[in-house]
Amino acid sequence: MTPVIEQIQFGFDFGEQPPLAVVRQRLLAAYGPQRDSRRHTPPEQFVKALISAETFDSESEKAFRALREHFRPLDRLGQSTAQEVLPHLATVTHPERKAEQLVRSVARIIAERGRFELSFLAAWPVDAAMAKLKQYDGIGPKCAAAILSFSALRRRIFVVDRHIKRFGIRFGLLSEDAGFEKAHQQMMRLIPPAWDADDLYELHWLMKRFGQEVCTNQRPPCERCGLADLCAFGQARQPAKGNDTKPRRRG
């Protein structure tokens, strides 16, 4: 049975260019290229992605460095216990749960492959690689995509995090009920076919930075946003012409 492709109705006219091409051009003008020649190995990115959920990048980076320093090689994670891993996850959210997930998942990969390695995913179709990664405890669609995209595997897949999901919903690129799985599917359908893995990597970091600095969760400065003309959310928050736009004092 052919799956139904949900159609997203864009609130604004992006012209003849694909919507994401317009967004990317604007963000490149603001932030410049976001390319990276150095990448983590797939096992390193697996660990980093798993522990980073719902955690600030700076804090998950501290935990990742602590794990990489203590567990050399990273295969040792699968031969350890959650109690041994836990002290190194002090800076991340839900450390107890993540310690258990990390030990179980690395141990399972070692049982399957003989060691903690994921290089075999380079030859798999992206969808199959995503499905395989999501079988491991603690790895959802966002983490699986990050492992494939951000690591040395450099697979052509787009990573949707909470900042990009918020951006996509506000700009009408994603349906308002989109969870991470659905958001990933919808965004991938909007990616121009000619874009390669590095283009998708760059778009992620451009949109994420914009989501962190401008299109924030609370009180986004829509009046100063360079993309407000493309955003129904931003347009709705603009004061009507002729109205008093001076800030009001709170009573």
> How many angstroms separate the most distant Cα atoms in the chain?
70
- Residue 64: CB atoms within 10 A of its CB come to 24
Query: Is the pLDDT at 38 greater than 90, yes or no?
Result: no
pLDDT band at 249 (very low <50, low <70, confident <90, very high): very low
Calculate the CA dihedral of residues 183, 188, 189, 192 and round it to 10 degrees: 140
Percent of the chain with pLDDT over 70: 88
- pLDDT value of position 236: 82
Residue-averaged pLDDT of the chain: 88
CA–CA separation, 7 vs 11, rounded Å?
13
Give the side-chain half-sphere CA count within 13 A for 36.
Answer: 17
Q: Which domains does the chain have, with CATH numbers?
A: 1-37+159-236 (1.10.1670.10), 42-150 (1.10.340.30)
- pLDDT value of position 36: 86
Give the side-chain half-sphere CA count within 13 A for 227.
Answer: 28
Query: Is the pLDDT at 37 greater than 90, yes or no?
Result: no
* pLDDT, tens digit, 9 for 90 and up, residues 187-237: 999 999 999 999 999 999 999 999 999 999 999 998 888 898 888 888 887
